[in-house]
Amino acid sequence: MPWLELSLNLRAEQQPEIEAALEDIGALSITLLDAEDHPIFEPGVGETPLWPTLALTALFDASCDRSGLLHALTDLVPEIAPEHISFRDVADEDWTRIWMDQYQPMRFGQRLWIYPWNIEPPTEAGAAIIVRLDPGLAFGTGTHPTTALCLEWLDGANLVGKSVIDYGCGSGILAIAALKLGAARVTGVDNDPQALLASHDNAERNRVADRLDIFLPQDTAPASHDLLVANILAGPLFELAPLFAQSIRSDGAFALSGILGGQQHELLERYAEWFDALEVRTREDWVLIHGVRK
């Protein structure tokens, strides 16, 4: 499907209000770039963005009315000047074709492979564990360092017969990998209904949907799991520590990522209250923390 892209520049202090307003009027995704065109992923706990001016783009369904979106946004955030907002059409087939051209099978750990749906695994794949993904459901494909860290951790864990919770499941890539690696059942949690749909569709493609339960956070029943994996952001990871501690049985394992280098120190201190054997892995500028429930 085609998309409608909205672009504007904003002051850093306007970011939370404008992001919330865009979500209220139906934005399907929001991307922030700093003054050097670098993506803004997540400020450190208690930090503010480095650059005073940010560039924002938001994607909407192509059927959305530009004038209606403009009026709705400026009504919610009156200080935005309409002349600073621009729109353009984005053809779905353009980014999908580029994505498929660039996205080749990737290996994580000893056994785990991620394949795009349009490439058939070789018949001699043997004991390889293969996860198939749909490029049209781009919530997590294995190309980001944090996803790669989590996939490698899962590949090295003993998942056979275990129960796993994937908090912030996105595309379902981690949940599906856990099931393919032998987990008996996985619970996927995400606050984005579209992510839950992506997880379900990808699980069906991989023939594991019958062992995957997916929920919004408020609908998730309390339970104790053997393993937890959460690839979200440092701020939510800090706040969710008590909940995660309740979600893992004694001696159960966990892995956290979505953490920029330098953000791990506060998280290590925070999680030490409930977890032992805390260790850190790094990939490029990103960090994974893993450990064992006391």
pLDDT in tens, 30-42: 776 654 444 433 3
Distance CA 83, CA 74 (A): 11
φ, ψ (nearest 5 deg) of residue 171: -75, -10
Distance CA 242, CA 209 (A): 29
Q: Which two tokens stand for residue 67?
A: 């004038």
Cβ atoms of 129 and 180 within 8 Å: the answer is: yes
Q: Summarize pLDDT for 188-243 with one digit per residue, the tens.
A: 999 888 788 888 888 998 999 999 999 999 999 889 999 999 998 888 999 999 99
Residues making up the annotated binding site for S-adenosyl-L-methionine are 147, 168, 190, 231
Residues making up the annotated binding site are 147, 168, 190, 231
Distance CA 206, CA 109 (A): 20
Which CATH homologous superfamily contains domain 138-293? Vaccinia Virus protein VP39 (3.40.50.150)
CATH architecture of 3-90: 2-Layer Sandwich (3.30)
Place of tokens 């059927």: 63
Distance CA 254, CA 231 (A): 11
Largest distance between two CA atoms of the chain: 61
* Banded model confidence at residue 104, pLDDT cuts 50, 70, 90: confident
Q: Which residues, 6 or more positions from 100, have their beta carbon under 8 angstroms from its beta carbon?
A: 116, 118, 135
Domain ranges of the chain: 3-90, 138-293
Average pLDDT, the chain: 84
